[in-house]
Amino acid sequence: MSRNSRGSDSVTQKRRRVDGCVSGVAMRIEMQRRLVRSLMKSAARFLSVLLPGILFGPIAVHSQSSAQDITCEDGSGEYSTRFSTGISVIVGPMREGSFAERACAAKLVWNGHEISVASDAGQVGIDVLGADLGFGKPVVAFQIDRSGAGSNRTYQIYSLARPPQLLYSLKGADSYRAQDTDVDGRVEIWTDDAVAVDGFERVPSADLDSPPTVVFRFEKGRPVDVGFEFRSYYDAQIAKLRSQISARDLADFKQSDGDLSVKSLRSGEELHRLLRTKVSVLEIVWAYLYSGREQEAWAALNEMWPSQDLDRIRPSISSVHQSGILHNVDHASRSSSRKRYGKIYDAIETSIGVSIYNLNTGTSDSSLEEPAIVQPRSILLRRPPPSIEEQHPPSANEVMELVVDAAGKVRSAKVINGTDEPLVQASSGWQFIPAFRDGHPVACRFRLNVSTLQ
């Protein structure tokens, strides 16, 4: 969801510009990559959105040269809505009188009362609005970047029941993304352990393509590590990394001292090659550790690390893992498992009622009587401008079919009767108040008309 695909080309570009440091290899599955690192940079264009039967005005976001799919950046961009519980969520530039400053603020307002969520921040983004993250009530979750550097963000979760209150605050990651991964109504937080590994073995996290991925969900108000439930994702990372380490590079690295200090008597090119291999090995070990497979992690380390350096590196890796973002997170019992079913409510054929889309059969069952669906409402919609290479500008009006999950994230998108790949790619960063059925957030398939305002 994403964070669109940044494959081997982006890795190549990063390696070219890094001098003396190592760029990590690309190891994200395209969809899951969108989960964790969705802050896709692109120039913003305004969109007006017409959901079936509901008219929305243009999204109030100023044109920016480096717009991200965050709500407010450097005082540019704003959003406000009044949720059904009577709580107003307001994000926008700080103001000195009638003048907007180059800083962002967020607040919750109800019945003349107000809670300041953030002020004088470089970036404030709404990740979730109206979803249930596991607290048994609708919440709003903010990503707050005080410095605006795009790293070490705070994730704050507030209830949307009156009076609103801070339910949980997370620190230690560069990004957070809530998503109903299996479309089963349970929402996971996909994040990273970037702060913990920053500078580990003298490699800044900014030069890692993929800091360790962390997956947890809230159960009874407590975050629970559920990374082991998504081993197929981590296995794809591991396979990708292994495929990009040549036998020669691995053999040369295993003959080194493992530390690879700058004082090593090696050429710059050789040292860079060994550093790149070292980081790839670390990322493989991390993928095993963060998916709950400690034995496999140490087996991989024994297989790929210089034997004379194992006594030094193993406790260092273990210490980082235990002291990072997971240090205050519970660990789920391995007996628990992912649900193997999910429902996507079909709100396209509104004239004949709502049908359920069965994920197992891929068909809809219109024989089931279901209450009406309150369709998703947009929070943030941006698209990149047409590239110089494009022969024809995008259509002024396009119809898209989207599946939005119970966390308000776009899970699939297509343009009806046409193709607009940049628009489809941009939709991975779109955010919605999710659809509701009987007052509960649900996944929903629907259509919207997109009009580009010049």
DSSP 377-427: EEEE---PPPPTT-SSPPPSEEEEEEEE-TTSBEEEEEETTS--HHHHHHG
Q: What is the helix (H) or strand (E) element at residue 311, kind and residue range? A: helix 310-323
This prediction's pTM: 0.78
Q: What is the per-residue pLDDT across 292-340, written as a single tens digit (0 to 9) for each?
A: 999 999 999 999 999 999 999 999 999 999 999 998 888 776 655 555 5
Q: What is the per-residue pLDDT across 204-242, written as a single tens digit (0 to 9) for each?
A: 887 787 889 999 999 988 999 999 999 999 999 999 999
Determine what percent of the chain is predicted with pLDDT higher than 90: 53
Among 30, 33, 16, smallest CA distance to 276 is for 16
More confident residue, 68 or 448: 448
Q: How confident is the model at residue 67 (pLDDT cuts 50, 70, 90)?
A: very low
Among 159, 183, 158, smallest CA distance to 170 is for 158
E strand intervals along 97-138: 99-110, 113-121, 123-129
**Distance between CA 374 and CA 51 in Å, rounded?**
11
Predicted confidence at residue 304, as pLDDT, reads 97
Name the DSSP class of 186: P
Predicted confidence at residue 332, as pLDDT, reads 73
Report whether pLDDT(341) > 80: no
**Distance between CA 113 and CA 146 in Å, rounded?**
24
Per-residue burial over 68-106, b if 16 or more Cβ lie within 10 Å, else e, is bbbbbbbbbbbbebebeeebebbbbbbeeeeebeebbbb
**Distance between CA 374 and CA 349 in Å, rounded?**
13
Residue 408 near residue 20 (C-beta atoms within 8 A): no
Q: What is the helix (H) or strand (E) element at residue 363, kind and residue range? A: strand 363-365
